[in-house]
Copies of this chain bind each other. A is one copy, B any other.
């Protein structure tokens, strides 16, 4: 549950807002001006009741009997997501993944600007990526302050993620996106989102194992006619 202004919005709802926004932008791109909860829901991969409930936490944006105005709903969700103000972003750890994330081109279109790249490896420091020079992580405090960074993407090796995160937090950053497979121990007011590719694959593997167990079981229960 997250409080914003007067209202409180479920965490699960917030996690879905980006999907809705994406679907709305697709619709706008197709020239559609008005949509319905069922259309928007299908494009977002959720149920229509869920979508309506989610929006109802934020306010009331549709017209009964008609639907939602694509343009105005889109800009409302954008502003709810805080995409009106600019978010200045730094990436710490410019290995394979950090490099790929630096070259991701969608930042500016979504209200983010990438303003710094940092790494500890002398081979990487000084290289250029995405129009920025990679700086040494020793200068982290200075760089974050100078560039007024408010969000950090951590793509360092797991072993140093905790210590880098602490330094980042000490600089006043309160939002971190972490790609290292570690559970960061940070003050409660710091928001950490973690993306763990290996973990996702393991979850898929669990499903695969469950499916295998399931079909083995049903094969036993209802043996195939020979």
Q: What residues of chain A have their CB less than 8 Å away from a CB belonging to chain B? A: 2-5, 14-15, 17-19, 21-23, 42-45, 80-83, 85, 87, 89, 96-97, 99-101, 103-104, 106-107, 110-112, 150-151, 174-177, 181-185, 189, 191, 193, 195-214, 217
Interchain Cβ contacts under 8 Å between A and B, 13 examples: A4-B214, A17-B206, A18-B202, A22-B182, A22-B199, A87-B204, A89-B201, A97-B101, A110-B201, A174-B207, A174-B208, A177-B201, A193-B204
Query: B residues within 8 A CB of A97?
Result: 100-101, 104
Q: A97-B104, A174-B211, A175-B207 are in contact. Are A202 and B110 (CB under 8 A)?
A: yes
Write the nearest CB–CB distance from A19 to chain B, whole angstroms.
6
A201 and B14: CB pair below 8 A?
A: no
Query: B residues within 8 A CB of A197?
Result: 101, 104, 177, 195
Q: Give the 9 A-B residue pairs with the shortest CB-CB distance, closest first.
A: A82-B209, A45-B183, A18-B199, A100-B100, A175-B204, A4-B210, A82-B205, A96-B100, A18-B202
Cα distance A174–B203 in the bound complex, in angstroms: 13
A19 and B207: CB pair below 8 A?
A: no
B110 and A104: CB pair below 8 A?
A: no
A177 and B204: CB pair below 8 A?
A: yes
Write the nearest CB–CB distance from A108 to chain B, whole angstroms.
11
Write the nearest CB–CB distance from A78 to chain B, whole angstroms.
9
Interface centre among A196, A204, A210, A213 (most CB of B within 10 A): A204
Cα distance A205–B208 in the bound complex, in angstroms: 35
Cα distance A214–B43 in the bound complex, in angstroms: 33
Closest to A43 in B: B183
Q: A82-B206, A206-B17 are in contact. Are A151 and B100 (CB under 8 A)?
A: no
Write the nearest CB–CB distance from A40 to chain B, whole angstroms.
11
Cα distance A183–B96 in the bound complex, in angstroms: 26
B183 and A204: CB pair below 8 A?
A: no
A183 and B44: CB pair below 8 A?
A: yes
